[in-house]
Amino acid sequence: TTHLVWFRGDLRITDNRALHAACEDPQARVIALFIATPEQWKQHEMAPRQAMFIYQHLQALQHALAERGIGLHYHQCDDFADSVDWLKDFCEAEKVDALFYNKQYEINERQRDAALEKAVSESVICHAFDDSLLLPPGSVTTGNNEMYKVYTPFRRAFLSRLTESDSRSLPAPPARENAGKVVMHRLMPFDYPLADIGEDFAIGEDAARNQLRSFCREQVQDYLEQRDLPAVDGTSSLSPYLAIGVLSPRQCLNRLRAECPDVLEKTEGGAFGWLNELVWREFYRHLIVAWPKLCKHQPFVEWTDNVRWRHAPEELQAWKDGNTGYPIVDAAMRQLNTTGWMHNRLRMIVASFLVKDLLINWREGERYFMSQLLDGDLAANNGGWQWGASTGTDAAPYFRIFNPTTQGERFDKTGRFIKAWVPELVDVPERDIHQPHRWAEKHHRVLNYPLPVVDHARARKDTLAAFEAAKNRS
Ligand code: FAD
């Protein structure tokens, strides 16, 4: 018998449920496959950096599989529809008896998998696994069997289910005894823009696991004090690995429990704080399955679609480029543009700024983030944007508007982060860093740094009025 493992958002051999299941029968011939779909990726706004990250991990995956006697086939076609047609023929040509894959929960991905299962139903048995979450969507519900709309009760129910479920990590499969010599199919670079990913994120499962281990061992206890300070390396920086499945959430949970055995009993402290973020990740993924409209960029709260967003291309561009004249916003956007990663506190600040200070449609921000992020993930990104824009479920209320200056003062007090990314401001003293033009005026200095694109106090009033008018129109 031939078993085919179709890799998608799970580019790892350790703790991979589909791969593990495919390898259980020692007699089976096991082959693996990855299909690149550049046109689909364009539609999904995938960042060229993320494409590169995937490409490099695919190479690592090919080697790791080959060492175990499993050849990785590679194909490129336009989009998901084409991939279904091609895969059907591939299964026939390779005489595949059973197909193994880990589920993806976005709407296009789910439709693709349904189409594929139908197309091959007569000859291939499909085994689909819930692998990228600690608990599958639909398994954490209210008394009425509905998905929670509010996070805190979701978390409570989630944690109680988690203690009853089997979250053990699976080992990488051993080398296959009957495998002949594995052919190393050439992995052509994707026909998609590929961008350099810099040095911050090493390639490979081992690198990701080492980072996880040292974070849980040395840093997690300080997580609550440090997680909001962008100048400090206080979060795990594991999101790019989780986004493309180089690391699984079970590996995160199990490593955390190994270092902090009472994390599930003690609902406080750094370890629990970090676990809480992993549960937010679950919450947003469960939400997109319960409300697929979220995958189509529709707001959860419908009346928010009545907000009359401003058409302000120049201000949008200033936001993208990090030239708004608000130092914390600009430093954050420049971090994103240079590295493909942005600190969570800053994501909240810049999202609030785009939507509540510039009154620009949150979808513009969602799209721009996707096009830049190494950790771009539809559910987390949509969840984050709808939270910041007050259009989501359990989001910030629309009248809660961050003041970008005070946010900077609170979370980058001395301006260390700002100065690292906005060199125009290096000479500005610490106490003036968040309002540099005031300082420049007082001391007759010329700053090569833009004036604020909006006046926050006025923008705040306009935004409140725009949201209130939209609510009244509904
Ligand atoms: P840690 O603090 O170490 O957290 C551990 C893991 O938990 C993260 O790696 C991530 O997988 C998950 N996580 C943490 N915070 C959140 C959250 N708020 N929502 C969902 N999952 C979370 N995260 C993405 O992975 N991809 C995105 O595209 C994305 N877009 C965002 C957009 C906005 C506007 C906002 C406000 C947040 C977004 N986030 C996104 C969530 C969060 O900012 C990042 O996951 C986090 O900054 C990654 O850094 P870390 O790995 O050091 O996180």
Tell me the C-alpha distance between 61 and 4, whole Å.
15
pLDDT at 205: 98
Catalytic residue check, 387: no
With a cut of 90, say whether residue 469 has pLDDT above it.
yes
Q: Is 45 in the pocket of ligand 1 (CB under 6 A)?
A: no
Substitution candidate for ligand 1 out of 375, 407, 411 with most atoms within 8 A of CB = 375
Other Cβ atoms less than 10 A from the Cβ of 314: the count is 8
Please report, for the chain, how many H helices and E strands are present, in that order: 20, 5
Instruction: Evaluate whether 127 touches 99 at the Cβ level (below 8 Å).
Output: yes
Relative orientation angle of helices 80-93 and 107-119, to the nearest 10 degrees: 30
Substitution candidate for ligand 1 out of 154, 279, 281, 394 with most atoms within 8 A of CB = 281
Place of tokens 């029968």: 25
Catalytic residue check, 306: no
With a cut of 90, say whether residue 50 has pLDDT above it.
yes
Give me the amino acid identity at 274: W
CA of 365 to the centre of ligand 1 (A): 16
Confidence of residue 231 (pLDDT cuts 50, 70, 90): very high
Residues comprising the chain, all counted? 474
CA of 375 to the centre of ligand 1 (A): 8
Per-residue pLDDT of 9-46, as tens digits, reads: 999 999 999 999 999 999 999 999 999 999 999 999 99
pLDDT at 77: 96
Q: Is 375 in the pocket of ligand 1 (CB under 6 A)?
A: yes
Using the 8-state DSSP alphabet, how is residue 5 labeled?
E
Instruction: Evaluate whether 209 touches 251 at the Cβ level (below 8 Å).
Output: yes
373 CA closest ligand 1 atom index: 28
Give me the amino acid identity at 331: A
With a cut of 90, say whether residue 179 has pLDDT above it.
no
- Could you tell me where in the chain the CATH 1.10.579.10 domains are found? 302-473
342 CA closest ligand 1 atom index: 47
Catalytic residue check, 344: yes
pLDDT at 181: 85
pLDDT at 267: 83
Question: What's the first-to-final CA gap in the chain, in angstroms?
Answer: 59
Confidence of residue 474 (pLDDT cuts 50, 70, 90): confident
C-alpha closest to that of 43 among 18, 80, 11: 80
pLDDT at 423: 98
Tell me the C-alpha distance between 455 and 288, whole Å.
36
pLDDT at 102: 98
Report the CATH fold assignment for 302-473. DNA Cyclobutane Dipyrimidine Photolyase, subunit A; domain 3 (1.10.579)
How large a percentage of the chain has pLDDT more than 90? 96
Q: Strand locations in 136-196, DSSP E?
A: none
Q: Is 273 in the pocket of ligand 1 (CB under 6 A)?
A: no
What is the token pair recorded at 392? 């989501």
Place of tokens 């991979």: 16
Q: How far is CA 291 from CA 146, 149, 286, 305, in A?
A: 11, 10, 9, 16
Q: Which CATH number fits domain 2-131: 3.30.420.40, 2.60.40.10, 3.30.1380.10, 3.40.50.620?
A: 3.40.50.620
CA of 350 to the centre of ligand 1 (A): 14
Tell me the C-alpha distance between 79 and 243, whole Å.
20
- Could you tell me where in the chain the CATH 1.25.40.80 domains are found? 133-168+205-290
Per-residue pLDDT of 276-334, as tens digits, reads: 999 999 999 999 999 999 999 999 999 999 999 999 999 999 999 999 999 999 999 99
CA of 277 to the centre of ligand 1 (A): 8
CA of 380 to the centre of ligand 1 (A): 7
Tell me the C-alpha distance between 88 and 464, whole Å.
53
Q: Is 278 in the pocket of ligand 1 (CB under 6 A)?
A: yes
Element (H, E) at 370: helix 362-372
Per-residue pLDDT of 85-113, as tens digits, reads: 999 999 999 999 999 999 999 999 999 99
Phi (first) and psi of residue 435, to 5 degrees: -135, 65
Tell me the C-alpha distance between 371 and 333, whole Å.
13
Give me the amino acid identity at 133: L
Q: Is 347 in the pocket of ligand 1 (CB under 6 A)?
A: yes
Tell me the C-alpha distance between 440 and 424, whole Å.
12
- Could you tell me where in the chain the CATH 3.40.50.620 domains are found? 2-131
3-state secondary structure of 269: helix
Note the maximum CA span of the chain. 80
CA of 341 to the centre of ligand 1 (A): 10
With a cut of 90, say whether residue 65 has pLDDT above it.
yes
Q: Is 351 in the pocket of ligand 1 (CB under 6 A)?
A: yes
Q: Is 106 in the pocket of ligand 1 (CB under 6 A)?
A: no
Tell me the C-alpha distance between 245 and 375, whole Å.
10
215 CA closest ligand 1 atom index: 3
CATH number belonging to domain 133-168+205-290 = 1.25.40.80
Mean pLDDT score of the chain: 97
- B/e letters for 106-142, b = 16+ CB within 10 Å, e = fewer, are bbbbbebbebbbebbeeebebbbbebbbbbbbeebbe
With a cut of 90, say whether residue 180 has pLDDT above it.
no
pLDDT at 374: 98
Mean pLDDT, residues 336-347 taken together? 98
Tell me the C-alpha distance between 392 and 139, whole Å.
21
Tell me the C-alpha distance between 232 and 226, whole Å.
7
- The burial class, CB within 10 Å (0-12 / 13-18 / 19+), for 178 is exposed
